[in-house]
Structure 1
Amino acid sequence: MKRITKFFREVVREMKKTSWPKRKELTRYTIVTLTTVIFVSVFFAVIDLGISELIRLVLE
């Protein structure tokens, strides 16, 4: 039981040392991440459609 208590005390101590992003930074990072995910998703969807059409043309 002492080990668990010690573990959580150390966790709290380390969390206090953590440098958390400000609200503006967090918003910016979130927008960049979502934009990147959307861009990559659309990119691979277009590539997938292109390859699918190419395969259909070759097989017909």
Structure 2
Amino acid sequence: MSKISNFFRNVASEMRKVSWPKRKELTKYTVTVLSTVVFVAVFFFVVDMGIDAIINWIL
């Protein structure tokens, strides 16, 4: 049981050392991630539609 409590004590100690982002940084990072995800999704959608068109043209 002391190993478990020691583990959580160490976790709490490490969490205090973490450098958390400020609200402005967090917003900037969130917008960057979401825009990248949307761009990649649209890119793969277009590529998929292109491959589908090529396959339908061949068949």
DSSP 3-state at the match of 1:20: coil
Percent identical: 58
Cα RMSD (Å)? 0.4
Structure 2 residue 30 is matched with structure 1 residue 17: no
Q: Equivalent residue for 1:48?
A: 48
Q: Residue 4 of structure 1 corresponds to which residue in structure 2?
A: 4
Normalised to the residue count of structure 2, the TM-score between the two structures is 0.98
Give the ranges of 4+ consecutive aligned residues of structure 1 lying more than 2 Å apart after TM superposition. none
Unaligned runs of 5+ in 1: none
Q: How many pairs align? A: 59
